[in-house]
Amino acid sequence: MRRTVVAYGLTLLAVGLAVLLRWLLDPIMGDSLALVTLYGAVAFGVWIGGYRPALVAIVLGYLACSYLFIAPRGTFVFNAPALVGLAAYLFTCAIIVGFGEAKRASQRPSSLLASIVESSDDAIVSKTADGMIQSWNAAAERLFGYSAAEAIGRPITIIIPSDRQNEEKEILRRIRAGERVDHFETVRVRKNGEQIQISLTVSPVLDESGQVVGASKIARDISERKKAEERIHGLLAELQQADRRKDEFLALLSHELRGPLAPLRNTLEIIKRSGQSGETDQAHETMERQLAQLVRLVDDLLDVSRITHNKIALVRDRADLAEIIGQAVEAWKPLAESQNQCLSVSLPPRPISLNADAARLVQVFGNLLNNACKYTPAGGSIAVTVEQAGSEVLVKVKDTGMGIPSDRLASVFDMFTQVERTGEASHGGLGLGLTLVKRLVEMHEGGVTANSEGPGKGSEFVVRLPIMNAPQPSNGATPQQVPATTKPRRVLVVDDNTDAASSLAMLLKISGNEAHTANEGLQAIEVAETIRPDVVLLDIGMPNLDGLEVCRRIRAQPWGREMLIIALTGWGQEEDRRKSKDVGFDYHLVKPVDFPTLVRLLAESGNEAVGR
């Protein structure tokens, strides 16, 4: 607004001066060329403010000069000569205004561009094709510390550190080739010697013939962003280190827990085989259930870590869903019965086959049944229902337990999440079982959902899995079962935990085998060389000489090359299995081993061992 007022004021002043000049020239000019001095005032009005001030100059100037200098003077005359003079005056003024507006329009983009460049927060610099600075905006002054007077005419290298001079040579080479340099992150130096991180964009400047005559450069200070990135990288490294330590802790915890679990399971198996009955049977069942819970918790700890880091590989094959459900029910039915819970199973009449890792799905449904048993009070019911829905099968595990609040349904599958406990009831667990269920089902291209009408109204978990429809391949032959040999085996049990070694040796003797023990690596090698066992059950995590080196040394001997060597250890991660396979172990079993499984393995060990 102020600028407009000034333009009109200066235009009026110009009109007044034009009239004054004509009055001063009046003795010489007389009645001729009465309007001649007004054209300068009109041109000045266009230049200073555009056509509007010019129109004011045209009208006011004509009225003043017509009254003062066109005869008869002192009055306004509108005769034919006056009207012709007015037309000529207006025509000339229109030409002046037209050219003035055109000139203003041609200057407007460059003025706008100059204004944008000057007000930009980014340093905008132009330079010649050989790197001499031609322009330097206010942001460049703030960023690099040089004023425009100090920078213009000097080489751009004044802001480039000595160890980065080759960067400018490469940039100029690319600019001369007509290339553009986009978002190049580098370091530049301020006038005071401080180095700053910048992001640089350089574009070639072309003349009318298309030749590169220079370059325009936009530089943005990214020092704070770089510092933030460094902080983020540092925090990420700390998180990764904490994650590695967590994994290492879980592996170590698992190993340490499996150590005492092994002799407990062995001792329980010995007691079972002692032939006692009556009240001791109930004690055995209680111990088995509690031991199974401990083993499940240890397995869940490691499985969650493996799945989180994508370290679990499914071993998929045709699997019968009824058999999978049956194994899970068989494992957790004793727990339901001990709590006076009714566990029912409803299967479709026709078998359903899946392309699945059967052991992992047994784990899935086992975790759901265990969860149902924990959260269902005594006398409640648990129902497992299998329904086919098109190309999928739905397995529903429904209970009459404590239920799930509606605001917790979406988070029950999150790691370490448990439904709030009511009263003084404690349901145990680490909050990992449902996380494993969800991840394992998703690995089978399925899904799982949780439903509940609210607290006290029970829960239902629905697992959805794709059905395998392809016919089972057959060559007409019936698979032959490998007969379990009754031939006694000479077995060497090696474990630095003397309870684990002695209890497993006792079990092997009860089963009709010849068993020997060793409690450290060098002793194991000596005993193995002396008795030449058929099988070595070898712990890995032993002090002084670990099981990996013991296996390596035994395999190096002629008498140890064909020997069946089984890792029986608390270390059960994929990397542990790979290491044991690399040094020559035939099998890798994780403590506490299921003794019937071990017996079957020994019975089949007459065949060629296949590493797993």
Residues 224-236 have pLDDT tens digits of 888 888 889 888 8
Residues with Cβ within 8 Å of residue 219, at least 6 apart in sequence: 122, 123, 125, 140, 143, 188, 198, 199, 200
pLDDT score for 346: 94
**Cα angle 498, 500, 506; round to 5:** 95
Write out pLDDT tens, residues 517-554.
999 999 999 999 999 999 999 999 888 899 999 999 99
**Cα angle 196, 198, 201; round to 5:** 155
pLDDT score for 309: 61
Of 60-64, 115-119, 186-190, 356-360, least confident by mean pLDDT is 115-119
Write out pLDDT tens, residues 467-521.
986 444 444 333 344 444 457 889 999 998 888 888 889 888 888 889 999 999 9
Task: Please say if the pLDDT value at position 445 is more than 50.
Answer: yes
pLDDT score for 600: 81
State percent of the chain over pLDDT 70: 81
Of 95-104, 276-285, 409-418, least confident by mean pLDDT is 276-285
- Give the tokens for residue 116: 């944008």
Euclidean distance between CA atoms 267 and 265, whole angstroms: 5
Residue 400's pLDDT band (cuts 50, 70, 90): very high
Euclidean distance between CA atoms 65 and 503, whole angstroms: 128
pLDDT score for 280: 59
> Residue type at 573?
Q
250-287: string of b/e by CB count within 10 Å (b at 16+)? Answer: bbeebbebbbbbbbbbbbbbbebeeeeeeeeeeebeeb
State percent of the chain over pLDDT 90: 29
Which comes out higher in pLDDT, residue 285 or 472?
A: 285
pLDDT score for 344: 94
Q: What is the pTM of this model?
A: 0.45
- Residue whose C-alpha is closest to residue 300's, from 461, 151, 429: 429
Q: Which of 63-77, 84-98, 459-473 has the highest mean pLDDT?
A: 84-98
Place of tokens 């035939």: 586
pLDDT score for 293: 60
Across residues 126-143, what is the average pLDDT?
A: 89
Instruction: Please list the helix, strand and coil fractions of the chain in percent, rounded to the nearest 5, in that order.
Output: 50, 20, 30
Write out pLDDT tens, residues 211-226.
888 898 999 998 888 8
Residue 119's pLDDT band (cuts 50, 70, 90): low
- Give the tokens for residue 17: 């001066």
CA 528, 534, 538, 543: dihedral to nearest 10 degrees? 0
pLDDT score for 441: 93
